[in-house]
Structure 1
Amino acid sequence: MKITRITIYQVDMPLTEPYCLSGGRLKFEKLDSTFVRIDTDEGISGWGEGCPWGHTYLPAHGPGIRAGIETLAPALIGQDPRSLEHVNRVMDVQLPGHPYVKAPIDMACWDILGKASNLPLWQLMGGEEAAPVLVNSSISTGTPEEMLTLIDRAAQNGYTVHSAKVGGTDIGLDIDRIEAISEGLPKGHKVTFDVNRAWQPAVAVEVLNSVKARDWVEQPCETLDQCAHVAARVSNPIMLDECLHTFGDHLQAWKHGACEGVKVKPNRVGGLTKARQIRDFGVSVGWQMHVEDVGGSALADTAAIHLAASTPEANRLASWLCHYHLDVDPVPGQGARNVRGVAVPPSLPGLGVTPEEGALGDAVAVFGG
């Protein structure tokens, strides 16, 4: 089997309402998503999606994906998409770094492998069943009262796990947010306080040693070294996210004892192949993990849910679904959806999500025959 054609689509996806994180420092209103279709000489096609969360959240942006694929495409035409590690090595030689560019290509290759083997991705990734995965709500920064209102609204839709965005310039207000939310959670619910790297180490130590709450705290500072400094001085379990881009970063986090858990995001680390490698390492060292993507439609969300469902339950926390924040749905009715707080991956061969003809508009680029 050989790759014969790579087709690229660009889709603007407005959010249903503006979204703020990092204490309101970062604000988002629209996402720029790239959909990739890979065709083969055996008539099997696969789909992938790459969608950065804006261009200020991580070193990634929508136009960069499309420019990067233009660079990679000549080396990918003629390769066997089922040889996942080989395809990734080819991409890494042709374009060092830029993992977010490679993620939709890798996803589409996984989709082809699943269809060729007549197996769903969750099974190819080691899962015993299409396990239900808890869905994590995402609570935008606001006053304690506003954030508790959003949590109550999420609870009415079945969510029992929440990610509350904190990390403002007002230390007292952050302390109030954390205490109010931790105390005001519905019975049996859990919360992670996501700082999105907004605090300096001294602020993180001050805030977390001032609160009674002992819930998870995510990415308190910008760098791995700063987060490790904080982790050694507080009692809250630390979750790392934005400072982890490669397997080597995850290895260093473990060596430094910088966290008790990590976010595993295929688009951030280069695709499902590398995300699975990181997931397996996390299982081996006893981490707990949120497996989810950076952004995107139900297509990208579903790919991450396949990986999450194949993760041992003891190591699996909840997964966030970006598509519930979007005002458009390019794959209506398909894929992993929130049903009373859980999402289940499809058991169709491959990814189990196929955009309908014309749903993505006209192609912006075609490479190959």
Structure 2
Amino acid sequence: MTTAPGNPDAPLFIGLMSGTSLDGVDGVLVAFSPEGKAELRQHASSPFTDDLRAELLALNTSGTDELHRSALAANGLVRTYARIVQELLAQAGVAPSDVAAMGAHGQTVRHRPREFDGTGYTLQLNNPALLAELTGITVVADFRTRDVAAGGQGAPLVPAFHAGVFGRSGETVAVLNLGGIANLSILRADGGVLGFDCGPANALMDFWCHEHTGQWFDARGDWAAQGRVVQPLLGALLEDPYFRLEPPKSTGRDLFHPEWLRTRLATHGGLDASDVQATLAELTAISCADDLKRHAPDARELIVCGGGALNDHLMRRLQAHLPGVTVQSSLAHGIDPQQVEAAAFAWLARQCLLGLPGNLASVTGARGARVLGAIHPV
């Protein structure tokens, strides 16, 4: 993936991403060569308003009048998407008609694949029809449900894109996305790909930080760095059976939510808030490092993307647990860590328009390759 302008006639796609961290929306304008090589043209981002963020967070758990509230929250989310799209087009000096399509993932509020009836479900708040109306651009959305219908987890979907961008023949490379949830892509030396969710990344740290400091996130991890890891609490957190599950597996706020944390804190009272933050950072670092050691012991490089790549304390803790591995931000490879996932959904939109698979059965556990997404023509 490159960032310098290349072929001016290459088809343009937009990718939009608002992840489980609920920090806002990232959008990218990407040009793709006929071979699928991505060239980043423009990036824009916007935080959520406090009201929208609070409502999206609340809709992750059962509440009153959910259908009505979800529909309105989806409209609010899409209006934020539309502003990002308009900013991208203005900055790049291109018209809506110049963009082949945009991939709009939506906001995941429930993720329960394979549960209840054997199929389960995954829910992303979105209104792609409204987004097409507001922007004048074809929208591709609903990427996860076809994979779930085919028996898969519906997540993570980015490993196939990671393989194209970061994979190297003859060398195993790992890519760790630290959003609300941590997901790991293992790009094997022989071309094979494995990917899965490791557990919580920013979701619990952001919750704890906001509850005790009023800030939405712990900038650079400075607050966590002031605390000490509480080993008994860390051990209790790591006892959750999810960490011992074998891939394919995926998770979200359905499992790793504030009550999950409060339940475990109840038997570890009197702790300093900064010590809890340090322990949550350690939970992310050690669970991700252990997964890398278990599933890719030959990896010598871990490329980190997502908002967690900007958490200096977390990056230091990852490196401490992986002494034989080079841990570095995707920025070292020329890609801003905040832009990687959005670019992946631009790629997924292109795959859908071309009628090409977007999932990897080796990652999600689906019965096979599937074309992902529903197209909403302009």
Does the TM-score normalized on the shorter chain lie above 0.5?
Answer: no
| TM-score with structure 2 setting the length | 0.31
Question: Counting helix residues as a fraction of each chain, which structure ranks higher?
Answer: 2
